[in-house]
C-alpha cells in the first residue's frame, strides 16, 4: 500500500493504524515477516502475544 507521495505504508497489526514503513522506528521481525507499529505500546503488545495479531 502506498500513499499519494509514493511512501510504502503498512497497517499496525495491533491497533490497525496506517504506518509509514520508512518513518516508524517501531518494527519487529516475526516468522520471516517485518511488522510495523505506530508506537512502542503496540509493539510491546504484539511481542507479548504475536499469535493474537498474526493471521
Residue-range definition of the domain harbouring residue 13: 9-53
pLDDT at 1: 77
| Domain annotation covers residue 41 | yes
Backbone angles phi, psi at 43, to 5 degrees: -65, -40
Three cell numbers at 41? 505500546
Strand 33-36, strand 27-30: pairing: antiparallel
Whether the CA torsion 7, 13, 18, 23 is positive or negative: it is negative
pLDDT, tens only, 29-42: 999 999 999 999 99
| Domain annotation covers residue 42 | yes
| Domain annotation covers residue 2 | no
Does residue 16 surpass a pLDDT of 80? yes
Model confidence, pTM: 0.87
| Domain annotation covers residue 4 | no
| Domain annotation covers residue 31 | yes
- HSE, side-chain direction, 13 A CA sphere, residue 50: 11
| Domain annotation covers residue 38 | yes
Q: Tell me how far the alpha carbon of residue 27 is from its chain's centroid.
A: 6
Amino acid at each position: 500500500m502506498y500513499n499519494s507521495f509514493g511512501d510504502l505504508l503498512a497497517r499496525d497489526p495491533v491497533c490497525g493504524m496506517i504506518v509509514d514503513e520508512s518513518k516508524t522506528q517501531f518494527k519487529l521481525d516475526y516468522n520471516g515477516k517485518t511488522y510495523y507499529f505506530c508506537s512502542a505500546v503496540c509493539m510491546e503488545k504484539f511481542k507479548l502475544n504475536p499469535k493474537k495479531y498474526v493471521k
